[in-house]
Amino acid sequence: MFVMNMPDNISKLSDGFLRSDFAKDTLTGLLNREAFNIKASERINSGEKGLAIVWINISNFKKYNNRFGFNSGNILLCELSEILTEVFKSKNGDIVSRFSGDNFVVITTWDDLDENITFTEKYLYSLHPGITLRLRAGVYFPSANENILEACDKAKMACDSIRTNYSLNACMYREEMGKEMEMEHYILDVLDDALNSGNIKVLYQPIVRILNNNICEVEALVRWKNDVLGFISPGDFIPTLEKYSEIHKIDTYTVKQVCEDLKNLAEKNLPLLPVSINLSRLDFELCDIFSVIENTLSEYNIPRNMLKIEITESVHGEDMSVLNLGIEKFRAYGYEVWMDDFGSGYSSLNMLKDTNFDTIKFDMKFLSGFDENSDKARYILSSNLSMAKQMGMQSLCEGVETPEQLEYLRTIGFEKAQGYFFGRPMTLDNIFELELPIENIQDSPYYEKLGKFEILDDEILDHAGTIVADMRAAAIFEITNDQIKLLTKNKTYSDWLKNLTEDSKRELINYFLKRMKRMKLNHDPDSSSSSSSGNRFYIFSNGNLFQTRIAHAAENSRTGSEAWVLYQKALTYFPLNHDANDRARIYEAYMKIFAMKSGDNFLRLD
Ligand code: C2E
Ligand code: CA
Ligand code: CA
């Protein structure tokens, strides 16, 4: 170890060493770690002001090596060493060195440091167009006489701290980093023990189908109980495990634990309940996560549709090919893959465009501020939901905490909801003690179909935000043994129904039943297509005329229930509340104007 204030005789010894070949890095010809330490110490001890130690690392060097071969990797290291030498040579006393692998360390001064780092990056990237390279730099300003080893450690800490923060390429050392680093090292040290000792547990949070208020899935979330630190939240240890490429250990463990829990359910004869698990993007690189899951499922004899895979949006600029291939493989084998935390980062839309998912899971931030600043939050939620439905995807909103939030999700047609309103993460046994029933897994395909229908009101607003016209009322009915049940409706349809008398409602239901029966009997080939006229009819109610279409939506093979979807638009907008005589006159007028006959395609309500 070379410490500050080296006695003269060591200094003389080091002179010889520095001139020898042992001082050079054989690959790049730069100074090696030992030689750098001697020379940088001298410079720090000289009392020179404004010094900086810069630790530079190529973020994805391992991947580069794997992809292009060891030789290309070596060439890349030599290129970087030449660029660094070129950039820093103009300054007197600057030293560039390679410590190991892809770790380069420079001692320089504060001035132009930013520009020099940026220039180095750009130069290196320009030599490899089309390849995602990422250079990271950590900077530390040593004080006079500071130990060179500690100074380098601090520069490295700064560099490591942005390993998974892709928006930063350079970072300065801060005091807290020492503590964070200690915590990270502790987590890494005790991880294996924790996995073996059962201190890492999996809890489950209910996911509720809004249409039937049933629990249709649960999400598996890990918990770590530690003897020293108490409870460590996944928000703290997951990023650390990702940073140090250990995350696949937890995820492999979770898959096994989930299968174990599902097996126990089956043994207790409890209803089947699919589980969604969180995978890290890194799982696809660090291990063969597909085989891990396949093997574990078959070991426990659990079918693929019992496990849903949540993947959070990727970071902008990252190489997506490995992840996309991995996702496609899971889907090709019949697994559902869900996009987690949609909307939480800046690449959500791009990822949605380039990657195929079965479900979009809306980030809980969509609901934060919902109650105060509701208008904007509502528009963002509803229009993104529309987008999801147009892409044929299932929808789930997380972070539901209040009945108002749930009610809004219901009226705009969200398929599923998750959040503290229904329950916090809990043991699987506790899930079965909740008041909400578990969905019969045989019914799921039926409800999934219904969840994809758009029921959003198309409101036309003036600039002040007042509703000028409701464009579309929508509802989904379910018919079981000639009994009709309204499964869901949007606000426009709710409002319309409110203005009907009880008699009118009964008349409406009878008319619907008759019509649906006839459409089924005729085997109307177009009955599910909205372009056919067979499914279109007119309703006169409250002095206004409405055009209504119904279409067969889905059939539940277990219960025999059928679902029909209804869309209705107003053709006239007369104010309500005129008297019976007025209504009769208006009715006669419509019949003339629209040249209609009361009959099959026309229902006159009061
Ligand atoms: P996530 O996947 O977005 O999980 C949802 C997080 O939000 C959970 O935190 C959950 O407890 C919390 N949450 C659920 N409902 C509500 C609500 O209504 N309000 C609020 N404020 N929070 C709610 P948790 O369990 O601390 O997990 C944090 C993150 O850790 C997860 O976010 C996920 O990204 C990650 N994670 C958890 N388990 C695993 C795992 O096994 N593997 C991997 N790779 N990541 C995991
Ligand atoms: Ca999740
Ligand atoms: Ca999430």
Provide the pLDDT for residue 260.
97
Taking a 5 Å cut-off on Cβ, the residues next to ion ligand 3 are 340-341
Residues near ligand 1 with C-beta < 6 Å? 205, 221-222, 233-235, 238, 247, 250-251, 254, 278-280, 340-341, 364, 398-401, 419-420, 425
Cβ atoms < 10 Å from Cβ of 220: 22
Q: So what's the pLDDT on residue 167?
A: 81
pTM, rounded to two decimals:
0.83
Exposed (0-12), middle (13-18) or buried (19+): which is 49, by Cβ within 10 Å? exposed
Model confidence at 1: pLDDT above 60: no
Q: Is the pLDDT of residue 247 over 50?
A: yes
Distance (angstroms) between ligand 3 centre and the Cα of 340 equals 5
Phi/psi for 480 (5° steps) reads: -130, 120
How much distance in Å is there from the Cα of 419 to the middle of ligand 1? 10
**Closest ligand to Cα 310:** 2
Q: What's the mean pLDDT in 348-362?
A: 91
Among protein residues, the one whose CA lies closest to atom 40 of ligand 1: 278
Q: What is the mean pLDDT of residues 356-385?
A: 86
3-state SS, 10-21, equals HHHHHHHHHHCH
Model pLDDT, residue 373:
59
Name the least confident of 33-42, 160-169, 278-287, 300-309.
Answer: 160-169
| Dist. CA 219 → ligand 1 center (Å) | 9
The residues, ordered by sequence, that sit 6+ positions from 348 with a Cβ below 8 Å of its Cβ are: 313, 339, 342
Ligand nearest to the CA of 401: 1
Residue whose CA is at the smallest distance from ligand 1 atom 33: 278
Query: 511: exposed, middle or buried (C-beta count within 10 Å: 0-12, 13-18, 19+)?
Result: middle
What is the structure's pLDDT at 315? 62
What distance in angstroms lies between residue 386's CA and the mean position of ligand 3's atoms? Answer: 20
- The residue whose CA is least distant from atom 4 of ligand 1 is 221
Asked if pLDDT for residue 530 goes beyond 50, the answer is no
Q: Is the dihedral of CA 297, 300, 306, 312 positive or negative?
A: negative
Residue labelled with tokens 């250079």: 135
Among the bound ligands, the one closest to the CA of 204 = 1
CA–CA separation, 60 and 344 (whole Å): 24
pLDDT at 529: 45
Residue 370 has pLDDT above 90, yes or no: no
**Cross-strand bridge partners of residue 208:** 215, 417
User: Going by C-beta distance under 8 Å and a sequence separation of 6 or more, which residues neighbour residue 424?
Assistant: 205
User: Which residues face 539 on adjacent strands?
Assistant: 546, 603
Nearest to 257 by CA among 211, 212, 199: 199
Residue bearing the CA closest to ligand 1, atom 20: 399
Query: Which residue, by CA, sits nearest to atom 21 of ligand 1?
Result: 399
How many A from CA of 235 to the centre of ligand 3?
12
For 468, residues 6+ apart whose C-beta sits below 8 A from its C-beta are 460, 461, 462
Nearest CA to ligand 1 atom 37: 221
Which helix (H) or strand (E) segment is 427 a member of?
none
Per residue in 101-139, pLDDT tens?
999 999 999 988 999 999 999 999 999 988 888 999 999
Q: Compute the C-alpha angle 437/438/442, nearest 5°.
A: 130
pLDDT at 517: 86
Best of 278, 287, 366, 422 for a ligand 1 pocket test (most atoms within 8 Å of beta carbon): 278
Length of the chain: 606
Strand partners, 568: 473, 548
Q: What is the number of the ligand closest to the CA of 238?
A: 1
Cβ–Cβ under 8 Å, residues 244 and 185? no
Q: Kindly write down the DSSP assignment for every residue of 47-82, as one continuous string.
A: T-SSEEEEEEEETTHHHHHHHH-HHHHHHHHHHHHH
Neighbours of 464 (CB within 10 A): 5
- pLDDT score of 559 more than 90: yes
Work out the pLDDT band at 531, boundaries 50, 70, 90. Answer: very low
Range in 27-31, 434-438, 474-478, 538-542 with the lowest mean pLDDT: 538-542
Q: Which residue's alpha carbon is nearest to atom 25 within ligand 1?
A: 221
DSSP letter string, 442-503:
GGHHHHHHHHTS-----EEE-TTS-EEEE--EEEEEEEETTEEEEEEE-HHHHHHHHTS-HH
H-helix or E-strand containing 426?
Answer: none
Most informative mutation of 203, 204, 221, 308 for ligand 1 (most atoms within 8 A of CB): 221
Report the nearest atom of ligand 1 relative to the CA of 310.
2
pLDDT digits 0-9 by tens, 449-488: 999 999 987 665 555 556 556 668 999 999 999 899 999 9
Residue 591 reports pLDDT greater than 80: no
**C-alpha dist (Å) from residue 65 to 72, 286, 317:** 7, 15, 19
Task: Collapse the DSSP code of 188 into the 3-class scheme (helix H, G, I; strand E, B; otherwise coil) and give the result.
Answer: helix
State yes or no: pLDDT of 600 exceeds 70. Answer: no
Q: How far apart are the CA of 217 and the centre of ligand 3, in A?
A: 14
